[in-house]
Amino acid sequence: MISELQKRITALKLKTNTAILAHSYQREEILEIADYCGDSFMLAQHALNTAEKKMLICGVHFMAETAKILNPNKRVFLANREAGCPMADCLSGEELKRIRESEPDRMVVCYINTAADVKKQSDVCVTSSSAVKIIKKIKEQKILFVPDSNLGRYVASQAPEKDIKCFSGCCPYHDGASIDDAEKAKRLYPFAKLLVHPECRPEVTDIADFIGSTSEIMNYAKASPCGEFIVGTEISIAEHLSYHLPDKRFYPLSKKILCPEMKLTSLPDVYNTLSDIEKNKSSAFELVMDSEYIAAAKKCIDKMLELGSAEN
């Protein structure tokens, strides 16, 4: 049944000239039909380079919004309109404007997990894989980092030359994994390497063997001679790695790192959106944004792509 739907999706993608971009936290059956998958930085880069006239994002709302901002002339759809990000929702553009005014000497660096309203109020955007590189490169010394305090504190530890003040937000799922969870997993799997996302708490990243974004964790596991890993990011990554590397073992750090928002999108959602696009039905969830608004939010994303790219 799954493969039959996947075949229909593949045919509809071609017929409607739509590229499917999926975040790595999506279900395996969705990653299989995606044209591009990866972490947030890779998705933004792919969004800029797709040849197709339309894009269907399998992920959460800010990812579709970012793809639209980067491609104002393309039609961008989100496969499940309910899929949001509680971390992105914890800070509004209005609130950031107020904070900015009270911290006029700080450069505002926002995580990509933010709404376009927040990006409009920010000087540069970063992802988990590009944050340290970008913050080290910018000449300003005083920084306000929003909204993820865990990622902000991790970046501050890697760039001690900067004065970084963090907003108090977090990913409730990554932040849910405690030091007790990490120590318990290490006791259960004493030979496994602990790989952790910087959205986790500092006391958890402190005892990790490797800290990186979703794609960096996957690449580390592939390249490592080690055969066992405790995976400290969304639970799907241990599952995807187990499919791709069946001779290695992957154990989720904690079942608390389960993002229900990322789990909302189903293969039927993808199929239904594509068939709505084909029939030109308004029930497909399309991102519609004013061109001036896009231009204002785009500046900080352009800066991220410029400073975070491999050539820079």
Residues that bind ligand SF4 (CB under 6 A): 60, 85-87, 113, 171, 173-174, 234, 259, 261-262
- 8 Å CB contact between 250 and 274: no
- Minimum distance of ligand SF4 from residue 234's CB (angstroms): 5
Establish if 213 lies at the interface with ligand 13P (CB under 6 A). yes
- Minimum distance of ligand SF4 from residue 293's CB (angstroms): 22
Peptide bond into 202 cis (omega under 30): no
Q: Which partner from the list ligand 13P, ligand SF4, none does 173 bind, CB cut-off 5 to 8 Å by kind? A: ligand SF4
Q: How far apart are the first and last CA of the chain?
A: 46
Distances (CA, A) of 71 to 114, 223, 290, 294, 304: 18, 34, 12, 9, 16
Amino acid at 82: E
- Minimum distance of ligand 13P from residue 23's CB (angstroms): 6
Task: Kindly identify the residues of this chain, within the stretch 164-203, that bind ligand 13P according to CB under 6 A.
Answer: 171, 199
Task: Kindly identify the residues of this chain, within the stretch 35-54, that bind ligand 13P according to CB under 6 A.
Answer: 39-40
> Which residue blocks in the chain are alpha helix, DSSP H?
2-16, 28-33, 40-49, 61-70, 86-89, 93-102, 116-120, 131-137, 149-158, 179-188, 202-205, 214-223, 236-244, 260-263, 267-278, 291-308
- Minimum distance of ligand SF4 from residue 139's CB (angstroms): 29
- Minimum distance of ligand SF4 from residue 60's CB (angstroms): 5
Phi/psi of residue 31, each to 5°?
A: -60, -30
Which one of 123-131, 161-169, 203-211, 271-279 is the stretch in contact with ligand 13P (CB under 6 A)? Answer: 123-131
- Minimum distance of ligand 13P from residue 304's CB (angstroms): 12
Q: Which is nearer to ligand 13P, 9 or 200 (CB)?
A: 200
From CA 111, how far away is CA 62, in angstroms rounded?
A: 11
Which one of 5-13, 125-133, 182-190, 221-229 is the stretch in contact with ligand 13P (CB under 6 A)? Answer: 125-133
Phi/psi of residue 87, each to 5°?
A: -65, -45
- Minimum distance of ligand SF4 from residue 175's CB (angstroms): 9
Amino acid at 206: D
250 to 269: interface string for ligand 13P, x by CB under 6 A: --------------------
Q: Which partner from the list ligand 13P, ligand SF4, none does 77 bind, CB cut-off 5 to 8 Å by kind? A: none
With CB under 6 A as the rule, give the number of residues binding ligand 13P.
11
Which one of 27-35, 127-135, 282-290, 301-309 is the stretch in contact with ligand 13P (CB under 6 A)? Answer: 127-135
From CA 141, how far away is CA 261, in angstroms rounded?
A: 35
From CA 83, how far away is CA 27, in angstroms rounded?
A: 14
Q: Which partner from the list ligand SF4, ligand 13P, none does 214 bind, CB cut-off 5 to 8 Å by kind? A: ligand 13P
Q: Which is nearer to ligand SF4, 88 or 132 (CB)?
A: 88
- 8 Å CB contact between 18 and 270: no
CA atoms within 13 A on the CB side of 255: 0
From CA 45, how far away is CA 135, in angstroms rounded?
A: 19
Binding footprint of ligand 13P on the chain (CB under 6 A):
39-40, 85, 113, 127-129, 171, 199, 213-214
